[in-house]
Structures are given as C-alpha cells and as structure tokens.
Amino acid sequence: METKKNKRKGFNWRRAISASGNLFQFHKNYNNRQFKSQSTIGVKSEKESESRRRYQVGLKSRVHHVTDILHTEPLKSNHDVFMLVICGEEGIGKTTIATVVYRELLCRFESGSFIANVKEIGKNTNGIVRLQQKLLSDICNGREIQIDNVENGKSIIDKTLSRRKVFVVLDDVDAFDQLNALCGSVSWFGKGSRIIITTNHEGLLNGDWRNEGWLNKNWVTSEYIVRKLDVTESLELLSWYAFKEEYPEEDFEELLRAAVDLCKGLPLALEVLGSYLFGRKIAEWESALEILLNDRGLDIMNLLKVGFYGCDDMVKYIFLNICDSYIGKDRDNTVKQLEEIGFSAEIGIDVLEQRCLLSMDMENKFMMHWFASNNGKPNIS
C-alpha cells in the first residue's frame, strides 16, 4: 500500500511533468510491439534475446533512412562514389546506426573497413598513420602494409583502393587532416564505393573543409542528422535498462515518465540512467530524480561516476586496467590475460558493460569511451 509520503512525492512528480508541457500520454501498451519476444533456452539465450531487442529500440527507422540515402542519392547525382555524413550530438546513436548499416550492407562490396575512434587515435603520435594502416589492412584482408608517413599512406591508399568497390566507415571524425589522410580524393575509390563519416559537428563539411578545397575534388556528399528518440522509443529503451523488460512495473510508471523527460530523447542518457536505476526501490528512484530535476538536467558524467564508485574493488581495477592497456584490444584475449593474474574478468566486464562504463566495437575490441579524458585515462576525479 502506498504511504502518504509516497503519495505526496507522486503528486510532486505529476506537477513537475505537467509543468513540462504534458508531453506524455502514457498507457501500458505504449509500444507497438514491433519486436516480439521469442522462446529462449537457458540464461545465456535469454540474455542475448533481451540484448538484441533492447539494442533495436529506435534503430529500425533510422537504419532504413540511412540505407535509403546510400542507395538513392548517388543515382540522383549520377556519381559512382558517394559519401554520407551522419551527424548529431554526443550520445545520440551515430556509431550504433553506422555499425548496423555497415553490417547489413558489407556483403554488397568487395571489401570494407570500419575505423572506430578516429578522433582519439588521430591525435596521438603517428595516429594518422595508424588509421591509414588500419584502413589498408582491412581492405587487404589483414595484410600489414608498411607506411613511412602520412603522404606515403595517401599514395598507397590511392593505388590500393582505386580499383575496388569498398565500404568504409570513419567513426567520430573531427578534423580535416583525418579525413584528408583517409579519403582525400574521390579518385582513391573504385566505382560503387560508399563512405560513411560520423561526427558531432553538424554542417562540418560546409565549414573549414570546404575552404580547404576538399569538396572540390568531385566528392558528392549528403548529410543525415540523427533525430532524438520520441517518447514511445524513450519509454521502451529506459524500461529495458531499468527493468530488463519491455514494459515498466505499474508502480514505476509515473517515475518512468519523469525520467524520460529528463533524458530528452538521448539514447545514451536513457541507457545510463536506466542502468543506474536498475534494481532500485521507488524511494531511491524518487530521490535520484528529485536531485536531477533540481539540477535542471541529467549529468551523464556524474551518473557514470556514481556507477563506477558503486563497483567493488575488483571491477574498478578491471576498468582502470582496460582503460590503461587494453583499448583497441580483443575482449576474449583481455579476459584471458586478466583471469591469468587472478581476476574474474568475465564477470567484471559484464558489470561494466551493464553500467555503460565499457563498450565494444564490431570486432569485439574495447573502444575508447567518452567517459575517458583526453589523455586516455578515465575521468573519475
């Protein structure tokens, strides 16, 4: 039975939501049930099924839009090689969309390359050369190619890719030198090639890069701005992370609405907040959301820090060790190495992934999380 205190709190939430413009017309069947549950056998199968369904929230329409652009826009311009720029703010899902599109379309090309963390890698010593080596290695089926310097790398890329139909994704680009070194001219790529760039900077190709003359090299480009999740999508995604199921528990419906309002349609914010609130009681939800409401917004970084400090010492050590030595390294090999020195790495990494403190790229390698500072060390102070 609900206490008077909880009733008062509930009234406060109703008032807060009403003041925000009555954005939500909530009912239990808010989802159109696009993703039907399937029978699974064993805990692992259930976990994988939940992960797949949670992962798909809001993705289908966005992936369809991107694939449609990649197919139709080059036909309109009558050009054989085409670049699409996917842009949007941090946490909007650019990398996720690009990853799904890459996986779906790669079979239509001779070869491909998905280069993650371009910004982070590119600013390191010889980082641009490393990016060029990654591109060439992927296209050449893992063969290592010696590159002396950036200009040498550009020449080799031109000679290697110019007769191939390739699919390339450059994830998290933020500087002209990165782009110029990896796809400096349309002539570098064979007929039918497609290039996707993800960036936080909307309209980036209309600024400094245009002034550099890069767009005058016969590139045909289009820009796709990722929209935020709508209310229905936000409710479903938050419910998956907070309750591990498609629909919220009835007692939490009002609190779920308030949490969704705070997240403003950002998938990462919904995932982080949902992970933080998972398994917590109503009073803990109310306390957390009251603090966020008083702060007039959701501070994802603070929530991530709370999640980190809530881990036991073993999990903290695993996180710090991965940030220090294993970014870009294979997950399975990392687990093996850490377990050889006495740590339950499989369990620890699962905990860190559930709390959105670690993420993997499509090759099952650890990615540089935005939770880390510019020098690659975790920003946990």
Rounded Cα–Cα distance for residues 181 and 83 (Å):
15
Classify residue 20: in a domain, yes or no: no
Number of domains in the chain: 1
| Cβ contact 66:86 at 8 Å | yes
Classify residue 275: in a domain, yes or no: no
Q: Kindly give the pairing relationship between strand 221-225 and strand 166-170.
A: unpaired
Classify residue 206: in a domain, yes or no: yes
Classify residue 134: in a domain, yes or no: yes
| Cβ contact 273:263 at 8 Å | yes
| Single-letter residue type at 36 | K
Rounded Cα–Cα distance for residues 139 and 310 (Å):
42
Beta bridge partners of 59: none
Classify residue 317: in a domain, yes or no: no
Which residues have C-beta within 8 Å of that of residue 159, sequence separation ≥ 6? none
Classify residue 36: in a domain, yes or no: no
Which of 292, 284, 306 has its CA nearest to residue 357?
306
Structure tokens at 25: 């017309």
The secondary structure element, H or E, covering residue 296 is none
Alpha helices by DSSP H, the chain: 4-19, 42-55, 59-77, 94-105, 118-122, 127-139, 150-161, 176-182, 208-211, 231-243, 253-263, 267-277, 282-294, 300-309, 313-325, 331-340, 345-354
Looking at residue 198, its pLDDT comes to 95
Segments of the chain scoring below 70 in pLDDT: 1-56, 76-78, 203-220, 295-299, 368-381
Q: What is the pLDDT of residues 254-304, one digit of tens each?
A: 999 999 988 889 888 898 889 888 889 999 999 888 877 776 556 677 777
Looking at residue 371, its pLDDT comes to 57
CATH (domain of 155) = 3.40.50.300
State the pTM of this model: 0.76
Phi, psi of 293 (to 5 degrees): -65, -40
Beta bridge partners of 194: 82, 167
Looking at residue 375, its pLDDT comes to 42
| Single-letter residue type at 164 | R
Which residues have C-beta within 8 Å of that of residue 276, sequence separation ≥ 6? 288, 303, 306, 307, 355
Instruction: Identify the domain containing residue 66 by its residue range.
Output: 59-225
Classify residue 17: in a domain, yes or no: no
Mean model confidence pLDDT for the chain: 78
Classify residue 136: in a domain, yes or no: yes
